[in-house]
Amino acid sequence: MDAIKEFGKLKVVGTDLCDEKGNPIQLKGPSTLGLVWYPDYINQEAFRTVRDWGANAIRLAMYTVEEEGYLSDGDQAFTEDLIDKGVKYATELGMYVIIDWHILSDGNPMTYVEESKVFFTKMTEKYKDYTNVIYEICNEPNGDDVTWEVVKGYAEIIVPLIRKTCPESIIMIGTPSWSQRVDQAAENPVEGTNLMYSLHYYAETHRQPLRDKLIKAREKGLPVFISEYSICDASGNGALNYDEANEWARLADENKIGFMQWNLANRNESSSMVKVECTKLSDWAEADLTETGIYFKKRMSGEISFVK
């Protein structure tokens, strides 16, 4: 499926992400696990493999200050080259692509706001003619002092900067408490069009109370996108919870909420989709996949689906 040809230039209408004709659509696919940690997974055949399973989007998670982070001890040119390859491979395959400013331990997005301005200026200049590029401006804001007012203030700096070059691109805004407080954003959203708000969940940890926040946020008119989730616990490891995972899947499918599963790599943790002993970088058979990877493939193919 060439999603770019089918959906065209995306827009936000009410609470929904829509195709260029205004029909609600559901983006879905994998998130990378730190571009520079597993760079070999940024290859066209890997992206083709997940597209053939049913994915129509890829999330490029670029850590800012973790080990080998873009702003710490990482090679910025190498990282930007991986982003460029990811964008171009996705585009050639007819897929949408999310460029993710992946803050984590640097929980306050204002800490590196100047660096963020430089990064998104560079990215928007490079991809201003791409209709399939989505900008996620702060992965998981977190910390006791990181309120929605802080995150909103950051967004009110970065969103207008992106809009100078990409006036109609989709922009995703993280929310406090590791992108779980969409209810707070719904009370005082950022002004502008084609904005969405990120919610992240890990099914073993985050259950009905967080789903209730999502439901209430949408009832208030907030467009929510699940830009990261997995079926294990919030550490990215630990036990899997299929019952809770399917409750989340039901909520996403019934409301056509997009979702990106963490993570496309073979790290020795339960959220990784490829078995640690597997060295293949594409064309994975079911025997190459972890239980999480098998669940992902079933979600992409529609074998696990709650579409009405």
**Marked catalytic residue, from 66, 136, 140, 204:** 140
- How many CA within 13 A on the CB side of residue 195? 23
Q: For the beta carbon of residue 148, count every other beta carbon within 10 angstroms.
A: 21
Residue 90 burial by Cβ neighbours in a 10 Å radius (0-12, 13-18, 19+): buried
Extract the tokens encoding 254: 């019934």
The values of phi and psi at residue 93, to 5°, are -95, 5
3 state DSSP class of 146: coil
Q: Which of 235, 222, 138, 140 is nearest to 182 (CA)?
A: 222
DSSP secondary structure letter of residue 133 = E
**Marked catalytic residue, from 66, 136, 204, 228:** 228
The yes-or-no answer on residue 114 being catalytic is: no
Q: Which of 178, 174, 177, 169 is nearest to 224 (CA)?
A: 174
The 10 Å CB-count burial string (b at 16+, else e) for 178-192 is: bbbbbbbbbeebbee
Amino acid identity for residue 136 in this structure? E
Q: For the beta carbon of residue 235, count every other beta carbon within 10 angstroms.
A: 12
Extract the tokens encoding 148: 């929605």
The yes-or-no answer on residue 140 being catalytic is: yes
Integer angstrom CA distances of residue 199 from 26, 45, 69, 278: 15, 29, 23, 31
3 state DSSP class of 237: coil
What positions carry a catalytic annotation?
A: 140, 228
